Amino acid sequence: MLSHLNNHHPKKHAISFKHAFAGIMEGLRDEPRFQLQLIASFLAVFAGIFFRITTSEWLALILVISFVLTTELINTSIENTIDLVSPDFHPLSKAAKDCAAGAVLVAAVSSLAVGLIIFIHHLT
């Protein structure tokens, strides 16, 4: 029982957060797609403030923004891991990378659809 409690030590949580923020900074520093999607996210937030969107619209916007940014970071993780363990071309490596990129595309397209649904009536 006590060993279970030791796994939740505040220092371990702080270290986990430190690593998580390092991963986000890695994306900001080295991943142009993540940078582009972050810029798009800021533009969407600015538009939300400008158009005074509703609470429900904010919830949807926050969810799709986090969905896109999360999938992009996961895609980067998958690509980097594959490059590390299998630097030579392999069909399974290609398939894994393509699927990860496809996940980002699904997130981005669905986020665009949600953004259009939220903002289109504010523009007309």
The pLDDT tens digits for 37-63 are 999 999 999 999 999 999 999 999 999
Instruction: Report pLDDT for 8.
Output: 67
Q: How far apart are CA 67 and CA 114, in angstroms?
A: 12
Closest to 114 (Cα-Cα) out of 70, 60, 66: 60
Is 115 within 8 Å of 63 (Cβ atoms)?
Answer: no
What is the value of pTM for the model shown?
Answer: 0.85
With a pLDDT cut of 70, the percent of the chain lying above it is 94
For 32-123, CATH gives 1.10.287.3610
Is residue 73 within 8 Å of residue 102, measured between CB atoms? no
